[in-house]
Amino acid sequence: MTLFGWGVLKGMGVTFKNFLTSYFRKPDEGGIFTVQYPEEREGTAENYRNFPFLVYDGAPEKIRCVACGICERECPPKCIHIEMELDAAGKPARKPAVFDIDYGLCMNCGMCEEVCPFDSIFMDHAFEVAAPERQIGLVRHKKELLKSNEYFREIRPALASAIDQKRKAVEEKKKAAAQPASSQSSGGTGSL
């Protein structure tokens, strides 16, 4: 029979050990595990996904999105709203006039990123999105959603470079195709 009260004392020993190690050990070896958030930050993993954003190349006018509306249709909580821009003749300009995402509804599932055939919508790393008001404050319009490809490359280098390469290849193919059969635009089909 073990001594009565031994288990209790052993437990106290464990907590005491942790108390001591919290002063002079590294976090991985039993030290303090806290990250002092606003000052210290843990780097986010590349795959980390938060809210979606739109990628443009170079200037905000050169937006990749063609307002096809696939993400709008596939979004499970239906938080995306897209309206096609019409040119002077009233024809669709293959560009979104309105692109709103309600961050209050979005559940960060990443479906939009998966279904987008034009590599234009991706999940952002920025998680400090607070707004004083739910209805208006959390709805992000096109202006706020647009972010440059450089930013994209910065937060998700591997994916961005893969997509850049793919787009380049498609572009070159298009060019090669365009030279013999001059001026036959084939649209930006960059799907897999």
Partner 1 sequence: MTITIPPTIRGIEFSADMLFVTAKAWILTLLGRFLPDWLIVLASITISGVVILCLGPLIMMYLTLLERKLIGRIQNRYGPNRVGKWGLLQPIADGIKMFTKEDIVPAKADKVVHLLAPIAIVVPALMIFLVVPFGERMTAVNLNIGLLYFIAVSSITILPIFMGSWASRNKYSLLGGMRTAAQMISYEIPMTLAVVPVIMMSQSLSTNTIVLTQEGSYDMNWFIFTPWGIVGFVIFFLCATAECNRPPFDLPEAESELVAGFHTEYSGMKFALFYMAEYMNAFTLCGIAVTLFLGGWQGPFFPSWLWFSGKTFVLICVMIWFRGTFPRFRVDHLMGFAWKFLLPLTLINILLTALWQFTSNLAAWLWSILILGVSLWTLVKLNRTFVPEKRHYLLES
Partner 2 sequence: MNIPIEEIKKELEARLPDVKFRPVRDSLLIEDPEDLPQVALFLKESPKFLLDYLSSVTGADYLDYLESVYHLYSMAKKQGPVVLRVRVTKSHTAVPSPINGSKTEAGAVQGPRDIKKIKAGKVPSLVSIYRSAELQEREAFDTFGIIYEGHPDPRRLFMWEEFQGHPLRKDYQQEDTEVLETTDIAWLEARGIKVPDEMKEKAKALHAAGLRALAQKPEKPRAG
Partner 3 sequence: MLEINFGPQHPSTHGVFRMTVQLEGEKICGLKPVFGYLHRNHEQIAENLPYAAIMTYTDRLDYVNALSNNFGYALTVEKLAGLEVPERAQYIRIIMAELARIVNHIAVIGFMLNDLGAFFTPLLYAFRERERILDLFEAVTGSRLMNNYFCFSGVKRDLTDANLAVIKKMILKFPAFLEEFEALLTKNEILCMRCQNIGILSGETATNAGITGPVLRASGVNYDIRKVDRYGIYDRFDFKIPLGQKGDVYDRFYVRVLEIRESLKILDQALTQIPQGEIINKKSLSILKMPRNFKPPVGEAYGRVESPKGELGFYVVSDGTPQPWRYHVRAPSLINLTVLEEMCLGQKIADAIIILGSIDIVLGETDR
Q: Are 131 and 92 in contact (CB under 8 A)?
A: no
Task: Give the binding site for partner 1 (CB under 8 A).
Answer: 1, 4, 7-8, 11-12, 14-16, 18-19, 21-23, 30-34, 36
Out of 17, 25, 62, 78, name the contact with partner 2 by CB under 8 A.
78
Q: Which of 86, 97, 107, 162 binds partner 3 (CB under 8 A)?
A: 107
Write the interaction track for partner 3 spanning residues 116-155; mark x where CB under 8 A is met and - where it is not. Answer: -x-----x--------------------------------
Which among partner 3, partner 1, partner 2, none contacts residue 60 (Cβ within 5 to 8 A by kind)? none
Token code pair at residue 39: 């000052």
State which of residues 136, 176, 181, 192 lies at the interface with partner 2 (CB under 8 A).
136
Q: Supply the minimum distance, in Å, between the C-beta of residue 78 and partner 2.
A: 4
Q: Is the dihedral of CA 187, 59, 102, 91 positive or negative?
A: negative
Query: In this structure, what token pair is assigned to residue 114?
Result: 């998966």
Residue among 135, 137, 162 at smallest CA distance from 149: 162
State which of residues 105, 109, 129, 170 lies at the interface with partner 2 (CB under 8 A): 105
Among 79, 121, 123, 163, binds partner 2 (CB under 8 A): 79
Closest separation in Å from C-beta 27 to partner 1: 8
φ/ψ (deg, to 5) at 172: -65, -40
Q: Report how far residue 24's alpha carbon sits from residue 72's, in angstroms, rounded to the nearest whole number.
A: 52
Strand spans (E) along the chain: 52-56, 80-86, 92-102, 121-123, 139-140, 146-148
Quick one: which of 30, 31, 49, 102 contacts partner 2 (CB under 8 A)? Answer: 102
Closer residue to partner 3 in complex, CB, 72/142: 72
Select from 103, 104, 100 the least CA-distant residue to 141.
100
